Amino acid sequence: MINNPNGRWFDCLPSCQAQVPCGHARHTVRWEAGSLVLSEHPDAEGEQVLAALGGDKAGCVELAEAWGRHIADLSMLAIGPRGPADEIVVGWEDVAEAAQASQGRPGYPGRRPRPAQQIQPRPTPMAKPIRASARAVSAHRQAQAEVDRARQRRNDLLSLLALGYGFQVRLIGHVAAAHADRSDERVRPALVAAITGRLAPVAERWLGIDPDQVAVSLEHRPGCRATELTGRGEERQLRVSLPAGWLASVWACGLALVGRYLVVAVEQAGWPDARVLGLRSPGAEPVPLDVHAAADAHDGPADAPHWEI
């Protein structure tokens, strides 16, 4: 979580909701103030306990578990949307088809996980064959476990993407926030790429610059952000230094570009009114801007927040 004295990273985000297949019905799942809320399952934890004891697990509960499994998964940054124009075409029918391809394996909504098949080595009087058989069984189990993990991960990711753009960007915000304060060398490459991939189209709209000419570095000093534009014409390059938390508190909240300002930080978080720091041009000092969430329709996905000065 980002230690932001001006509020939590998601304070500029309204709640959003989606309809999720759960058994034979469709239930509402809501994201609200940083949490996933299962409206139709007030005792989700109790249901999880019952499922662990052999009962059916509801699709909503499975989805919440998938959300928890990937709330800090850097792969979400690589897979998730780069902006409102980036449409990810996964529907619940795709999730169901992928689940069917899994032949009843665990890890997707609406199905009950089946216990893994037990393979017993056949008894034999020879000691050596027993060892060989045990090795083969062990290798088979290991391979099967890997396939099961891959299937569950695939089904998890598809389910999370099927929730729609609003949930997708919020999940990206959670992932970025989870790593923002501990951006060591193992996670820095993923964070730099994630910010670059999302800032580049924003910079294109801001300056008309070629998105391939946007270079991002991670800024670790609190309150420091820098932008620099070099070169001319097609040789122009924009260098931007931002903290990893920008992805959560600014981009995920739909604040990256407000009016003609590149927003580099949130000074006072809130919905539908907030105060941000924006740049009118590269190299300029950031100026405070009072922004307001617009309720009217715009070109992006329904769940994408839209702000105006």
- Indicate the residue among 27 and 105 with the shorter CB distance to other proteins: 105
Residue 152 C-beta: closest distance to other proteins, Å: 10
Q: Which residue has the tokens 């998730």?
A: 80
Task: Please tell me what DSSP assigns to residue 120.
Answer: P
In 3D space, the residue among 43, 2, 46 whose CA is nearest the CA of residue 174 turns out to be 2
- Indicate the residue among 29 and 191 with the shorter CB distance to other proteins: 191
- Indicate the residue among 76 and 258 with the shorter CB distance to other proteins: 76
What 3-state DSSP class applies to 276?
strand
CA pseudo-torsion sign 243, 247, 249, 251: positive
Residue 70 C-beta: closest distance to other proteins, Å: 12
239-261 burial: b if 16+ Cβ within 10 Å, else e: bbbbbbbbbbbbbbbbbbbbeeb
Under the binding rule (CB under 8 A), the answer on residue 150 touching other proteins is: yes
The answer, yes or no, to whether the previous bond of 21 is cis (omega within 30 of 0) is no
Binding-site member from 113, 121, 211, 270 for other proteins (CB under 8 A)? 211
Count the Cβ atoms, other than its own, within 10 Å of residue 179: 22
Distances (CA, A) of 274 to 59, 144, 307: 36, 51, 10
Residues 245/179, Cβ–Cβ less than 8 Å: no
Angle at CA of residue 82, ends 78 and 86, nearest 5°: 115
Residue 21 C-beta: closest distance to other proteins, Å: 16
Q: Which of these ranges, 18-26, 86-94, 111-119, 131-139, lies near other proteins under the rule CB under 8 A? A: 86-94
- Indicate the residue among 122 and 128 with the shorter CB distance to other proteins: 128
Under the binding rule (CB under 8 A), the answer on residue 63 touching other proteins is: no
Beta bridge partners of 266: 276
- x/- track of binding to other proteins for residues 10-49 (CB under 8 A): ----------------------------------------
Q: Which of these ranges, 122-130, 152-160, 174-182, 287-295, lies near other proteins under the rule CB under 8 A? A: 152-160
Q: Which residue has the tokens 């396939």?
A: 147
Q: Which of these ranges, 4-12, 94-102, 229-237, 296-304, lies near other proteins under the rule CB under 8 A? A: 94-102
Give me the residues that bind other proteins (CB under 8 A), please.
75, 78-79, 82-83, 85-90, 94, 97-98, 100-101, 147, 150-151, 153-154, 157-158, 161, 185, 188-190, 192-193, 196-197, 200-201, 211-212
